[in-house]
Amino acid sequence: MLPIAKGANLALMFFLELGVLVSAGYWGFTLSQHWGVKLLAGLGAPALFIVAWALFGAGGGANAVIPLTGLARAALEILWFGGGALALYAAGAALPAGALAALFVVNAVLRIVWKQV
């Protein structure tokens, strides 16, 4: 049963990562009335998140260009997932923002307890 739970936790992290990208895009498309700003922010914000994750966090750090470990990795994850939650909150979606943040905390604690970090 534990291997299934561990696999589900890793799947949750993947879906949370996708949620951050969707959150950044959603925020961007709600940022302005002008379609040019919406397009730039709606596509640009997720692109910036993707670049940051590819550089520092991809594959748990194993596939990252500059892999981070320890406290630096923890700071990256807090900024990454916190940024997604803040984007949702700024777009007026407070409940989904809280859910994203809460799921991240549960996921992170379980990854630490189960040594999936």
- Tokens 């302005």 map to which residue? 32
Look at residue 117 and tell me whether its pLDDT is greater than 80. Answer: no
Quote the pTM value: 0.93
CA distance linking residue 70 with residue 56, whole number of Å: 12
Beta strand residue intervals within 2-72, DSSP E: none
Tens digits of residue pLDDT in 37-84: 999 999 999 999 999 999 999 877 778 999 999 999 999 999 999 999
Q: Show me where the domains of the chain are located.
A: 2-113
Helix (H, G, I), strand (E, B) or coil at 1: coil
CA distance linking residue 80 with residue 6, whole number of Å: 22
- pLDDT for res 62: 79
